């Protein structure tokens, strides 16, 4: 026996056949009706908890993202507000910043060097 909680909503105390429930399953019409009637009850709705989507970035990653112009403007502004005093080296001030925890435009091939160009340079 246990409480069934689905996506923050307490669906009540019932027999749990196993400890793992998939995120989705096909409902019978009676279950669907029960679920939709429970979704309108405000006491069962989980409160919205704001999550900060900004975290400190590693220094080299911040330099890389700034030079590639990948960081959104508001993130760059926040990073500039939190920069260190002028007595620290330029590279340290450039590396201080924030990283938005959302997908960025990123080209994974930018780290790759073509073998042909390296071979021609060595000749």
Compute how many other C-beta atoms are within 10 angstroms of the C-beta atom of residue 70. 14
Does the model's pTM come out above 0.75?
no
DSSP H or E stretch at residue 56:
strand 54-56
Angle at 73 between CA 69 and CA 78, to 5 degrees: 115
Average of per-residue pLDDT across 49-76? 72
Phi/psi region, residue 12 (left: phi>0; alpha: psi -120 to 50; beta: rest), is left
Of 115, 103, 116, nearest in space to 72 by CA: 103
- Contact yes or no for 4/12 (Cβ under 8 A): yes
Higher pLDDT, 99 or 10: 10
Backbone angles phi, psi at 12, to 5 degrees: 110, 175
- Contact yes or no for 78/110 (Cβ under 8 A): no
How do 9-14 and 54-56 pair as beta strands? unpaired
Token couple for 75: 């993130």
Q: Could you read off the pLDDT of 43-60 as tens digits, one per residue?
A: 777 677 665 555 566 777
| CA atoms of 113 and 42, how far apart (whole Å) | 57
Q: Could you read off the pLDDT of 79-112 as tens digits, one per residue?
A: 666 554 444 454 444 445 444 444 445 555 555 4
């Amino acid at each position: 026996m246990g409480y069934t909680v689905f996506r923050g909503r307490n669906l009540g105390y019932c027999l749990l056949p196993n400890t793992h429930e998939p995120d989705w399953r096909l409902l019978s019409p009676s279950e669907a009706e029960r679920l939709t009637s429970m979704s309108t009850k405000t006491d069962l709705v989980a409160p919205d908890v704001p999550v900060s989507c900004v975290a400190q970035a590693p220094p080299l990653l911040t330099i890389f993202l700034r030079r590639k112009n990948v960081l959104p403007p508001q993130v760059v502004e926040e990073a500039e507000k939190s920069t260190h005093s002028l007595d620290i080296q330029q590279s340290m001030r450039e590396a201080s910043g924030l990283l938005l925890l959302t997908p960025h435009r990123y080209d994974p091939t930018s780290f790759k060097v073509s073998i042909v160009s390296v071979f021609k340079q060595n000749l």
